[in-house]
Structure 1
């Protein structure tokens, strides 16, 4: 990994963490000194720009310790009714592969509702840009017409095994068109 070792990198991180802990301790001691000299927490908050909770933890170290301990004990859990984004996203699947009659060459510019990245122009003669456009259209299409306008049946079949797609989208398409799943099996 070049001229530096893992030990040197770990030493950098250790020094940073030690300096950070020392700076935090010093800052908290200074804030407590100001508080003991008559500064109200609200004034410390106003002048420093720190949050109310940061000031509270600085003035009461036991609160910081309890908060940090609590954070370490309980890993954040999603709500009970949580569903991953891919399960909630309404991916559109073509009605028929034969209906896909999109461009097969040249340069195209996708409409903003499909690609708002600022790089919506795709040179279809460049394989990486072609694959990128297909990924964008497949993941962002909101109507079957989007798919029919921008995708081509033969290109989709050729690209399918190598496209980096969300698993839920890939599953929906392969359930609707088993021949796409077969192209993936053949490519492996």
Structure 2
């Protein structure tokens, strides 16, 4: 999957989603910098919940707090 330059402006733009590290990198970028259309285009709810325990650390506290307040199921996923 390739991200547009308004998201991936500082480096890697193509991500192999079969590689967990690259998937996490793409999700981190979209979670931190994506607009509504980007979020719906590039994120999958099941993958987000599955990888949230690692992603919540990578995105930092402000992004983590925002996402966990809006989607309480992520808090549950992180506790599992």
Cα distance in 2 between the residues matched to 1:173 and 1:129:
21
The one of the two structures with greater contact order (alpha-carbon pairs below 8 A, sep at least 6) is 2
RMSD: 0.8
1:165 aligns with 2:59: yes
1:133 equivalenced with 2:38 (yes/no): no
Equivalent residue for 1:145, pick from 37, 46, 51: 37
Partner of 1:183: 77
Distance 1:109 1:160 in 2: 21
The 4+ residue runs of structure 1 with deviation greater than 4 A are: none
Q: Which has the larger radius of gyration?
A: 1
Q: Where does the alignment leave 5 or more consecutive residues of structure 1 unmatched?
A: 1-107
Q: Which residue of 1 aligns with 2:9?
A: 116
Report how many residues are paired: 78
- Normalised TM-score (structure 2): 0.92
- Give the equivalent residue in structure 2 for 1:155: 47
